Amino acid sequence: MNAEIGFSEFGLLFLLALLLFKPKDLGKAVATFKYWKGRLYRLKFDLEDELLETQKNPSRKEKESAWIVQAIRRFEPYKAAAKVAAFYPLPDEPDIRPILQELAKEGRLLLPITYDGGLMDFVEIHDLEKDLVEGRFHVHEPKKELPIYRGEIPFVLTPGVQFSWDGGRHGHGKGYYDRFLEKNPQAIKCGVAFSTQVSEKPLTLKPHDVPMNYIVAPKNDPEKENPHVEEATV
Ligand SMILES: Nc1nc2c(c(=O)[nH]1)N(C=O)[C@@H](CNc1ccc(C(=O)N[C@@H](CCC(=O)O)C(=O)O)cc1)CN2
Ligand SMILES: Nc1ncnc2c1ncn2[C@@H]1O[C@H](COP(=O)(O)OP(=O)(O)OP(=O)(O)O)[C@@H](O)[C@H]1O
């Protein structure tokens, strides 16, 4: 009896949520929930790793991140790019730190520094330890005193909340990447995502949403697939 009451209350709450929130808001709420869930999840695993000193049983996220890193390394347009605009991963994004280390060593790494109003610039980073500080939204950002990079940006590894295989991208809703990419139409845009972040159905895009040329994300089983980058089917 009690169980029945519990279930119907849950059902009622769900219906209320559907009535009160527009599908877009509901999507944002789910994205926020996922973001915080991801942060706590990563924290838990980091603590466990420290305690157990083991990397023998990496989580699915770690496996997918390793797959993504391999796929990027093998990707010709990435290999050919003189500079790569990348991102310092948030806990809910693929861990591309090995790529960042390699790019920094090669003198090819650019990371974003954000300003108010949804604007950002890229800065050349040579040392991930010394050149970065924690900026807004807990993202590691270049120190303010470092010079802004004013040269050509041929290739952009782009973070996002959700992508679709046809190149659609939704971010955190502040428009940083849309504004930046609009000003840099020459750049090859490569979305970087966990398999769970890529929708089979095209995302609904607004006129300012800039589509990706490529998506790097494992499609099904990251262990069985050969890492490769998908060309967006736009
Ligand atoms: N790794 C990484 N670096 C990045 C971005 C990104 O998406 N990922 N950005 C891409 O633009 C810029 C920073 N923009 C961000 C904007 C909002 C939030 C954020 O967490 N916002 C909400 C939560 C809402 C949500 O998750 O949708 C908050 O304020 O807590 C994070 C980054 C530049 N650097
Ligand atoms: N090129 C642009 N010029 C002016 N305003 C823009 C441009 N791109 C986006 N915006 C504005 O920025 C806001 C957020 O855009 P959107 O929701 O597409 O961001 P996002 O791509 O999800 O976020 P982010 O790029 O920060 O990860 C919107 O209100 C939009 O009007």
Reported for 96-99, long-range contacts at CB under 8 A and 24+ positions apart, including other chains, are: 96/65, 96/68, 96/69, 96/72, 96/157, 96/192, 97/128, 98/69, 99/69, 99/72, 99/73, 99/157
Nearest atom in ligand 2 to the alpha carbon of residue 170 is 22
Name the CA radius of gyration of the chain, rounded. 19
What is the structure's pLDDT at 179?
Answer: 98
CA distance 157 to 89: 11
Nearest atom in ligand 2 to the alpha carbon of residue 159 is 27
CA distance 84 to 60: 27
The chain-wide mean pLDDT, for the chain, equals 89
Query: From the CB of residue 73, how many other CB atoms can be counted at a distance below 10 Å?
Result: 13
CA distance 220 to 196: 9
- How many angstroms is it from 137 CA to the middle of ligand 1? 6
CA distance 95 to 121: 22
Q: CB–CB of 149/126 below 8 Å?
A: no
Confidence of residue 124 (pLDDT cuts 50, 70, 90): very high
Q: What does the pLDDT look like over 139-173, one tens digit per residue?
A: 999 999 999 999 999 999 999 999 999 999 999 99
- How many angstroms is it from 91 CA to the middle of ligand 1? 11
- How many angstroms is it from 19 CA to the middle of ligand 1? 28
Instruction: Tell me the average pLDDT across 212-224.
Output: 89
Q: CB–CB of 134/141 below 8 Å?
A: yes
More confident residue, 139 or 48: 139
Nearest atom in ligand 1 to the alpha carbon of residue 172 is 27
Instruction: Tell me the average pLDDT across 203-231.
Output: 91
What is the structure's pLDDT at 46?
Answer: 65
All residues at 6 or more sequence positions from 57 whose CB lies less than 8 Å from its CB, including other chains: none
Ligand closest in space to the Cα of 36: 1
Query: What global pTM score does this model have?
Result: 0.79
Q: CB–CB of 42/69 below 8 Å?
A: no
Name every protein residue with a CB atom under 6 angstroms from any ligand 2 atom: 118, 170-179, 182, 206, 208-209
Q: What does the pLDDT look like over 3-47, one tens digit per residue?
A: 444 556 666 776 777 777 776 777 787 788 888 887 887 776 666
DSSP per residue, 80-93: H-SSEE--PPPTTS
Nearest atom in ligand 1 to the alpha carbon of residue 137 is 31
Nearest CA to ligand 2 atom 7: 179
